[in-house]
Chain A
Amino acid sequence: MPDPLFADLYRETEHLTWAPTEQVRRCARQRTRRTRIVASLAGVVAVAVVATGAAALADRPDGPAPISPVTGTPTPSSVPSPSPTTGATPSDAPPTTTGEQPSSPTIDPAIPAAATLQLADLPNGFRLTGSDLDGDWSLESVTIYCRNESPSITPGEVARRGAVFDSPTANITQRVTRHSGSNAATSMDRVRKLVTGCVPHREGDSLSILAEGLGGDESLLVGSVIEGRQNRWLFVRQNDLVAQVWLDSETTPAEARRYTQPVADRLCAGTDAC
């Protein structure tokens, strides 16, 4: 028992509402699955680049000594930072990536910082607080509230970068992913499929597409109501890049449109197609 001085505090935390164990399991499984997908795709890219480099050298018998391939630094990883121990080996089934196009070799898939939102794009009061994408902020994280299996929305991902902005009252988190081949367009299709296909566990929960065609090559504003709480995500595609931006929970389509333009413009810094 705690010291009497702490008794009140201990009592006040006694009746908190906790997520059911099954929900904790689902969240953990899903996160592990995503981690594995990212890790395996990163491996595919690395192997492809090494193979490409080796083939090129084989064509040039008198070529220079091989240089370590630059695979770019898909930063930062979304892998949760386990502490104080590492090396999780949960026992869920391996991920399936059926229907995805294989990743084509990319020499430097890294996404430049200039391809993410900048402070100048945001209302006053925000500051850049990091690039850590860890955590349950993304659209994928709410799929644990869907009965059905949700498709991966990062098919053929070869790189990612994050940007996190905080103000005293709000937060904006952005993830930009680069996709091989036409997988960026597939990614947007998967977002639509995920949203429209979600069968919520709980009555009253919902996922919906609130707006489309706000800018960029493609864009979507997705809304969720989970246990009475709203969330909003803006998806913008520009060529092979897809941005997912976690916005204020009350964001309207008109407000989302104002964010879409700078998101799309900034993405152009990371792709040649603009």
Chain B
Amino acid sequence: MDTDEGFEEFYRTSRHRVVTVLYALGGDPTEAQDAAQEAYVRAWQRWRRISGYDDPEAWVRTVGYRLLVNRWRKIRNGIVAYRRHGPDPTAGPPSENTVALVAALRRLPAEQRQAIVLHHLADLSVADIAAQTNTPTGTVKARLTRGRKTLATLLDTTLPEEVSNA
């Protein structure tokens, strides 16, 4: 008997946000989807526990990010098998903006990139980022400030100092 009540909806409604964050963090959409897909498999295995968390999506995002960081390469056959075959042929090429943004993000130190993506893309507050990355809030703020400054230079644009729930 499966006790995965709520998993299907969680998977359906959260995966777009999760994969976008992983794409922004890792810079490769295929790896991002592989990692996200694998993270959901692991989430299902622990669903009874994870479903009780305040923010199960944070768990999946964290697991997916660790998979990316560890360059976990063997997420290939069971759910998706893109590694040797390239991305989905139906997917179009990324836009110029996306290419520039991803390239700029990759030039940031990993901690700054993570803070920027979680704040400006995942819409997490400084306090939430601090809690989820086990980092003091002052450090998160400093990373955001430095990251914004570098991105602004690289992209010739500005990022708002604060977003809705910061």
Contact = CB atoms under 8 A, between A and B. Distances in A.
A261 B77 CA distance: 26
A85 B74 CA distance: 21
A5 B158 CA distance: 9
Given A89-B48, A227-B81, A135 B75 contact: yes
B51 to A, nearest CB: 12
Interface in A91-140: 91-92, 129, 132-138
Interface in B71-119: 72-85, 88, 90-92, 94-95, 97-98, 101-102
B74 A24 contact: no
Contacts, number: 176
A131 B52 CA distance: 34
A272 interface: no
Interface residues of A, number: 58
B44 A2 contact: no
B85 A24 contact: no
Interface in B18-52: 19-20, 23-24, 29, 32-33, 37-38, 40-42, 44-50
The contact size tier of chain B is: 35 or more
Contacts of A144: 78
Contact of A82 (B42, B72, B77, B82): B42
A255 B85 CA distance: 19
Interface of A: 1-3, 5-6, 8-10, 12-19, 21, 23-25, 27-28, 31-32, 80, 82-85, 87-92, 129, 132-138, 141-142, 144, 164, 166, 170-171, 173, 224, 226-227, 229, 231, 248-249
22 contacts: A2-B20, A8-B101, A9-B97, A10-B20, A12-B95, A16-B19, A16-B29, A18-B15, A18-B33, A24-B41, A82-B42, A83-B62, A85-B59, A91-B2, A135-B74, A136-B74, A137-B77, A138-B77, A170-B84, A173-B74, A229-B82, A229-B84
Interface of B: 1-4, 7-8, 11-12, 15-16, 19-20, 23-24, 29, 32-33, 37-38, 40-42, 44-50, 59, 62-63, 66, 72-85, 88, 90-92, 94-95, 97-98, 101-102, 120-123, 155, 157, 159-160, 163
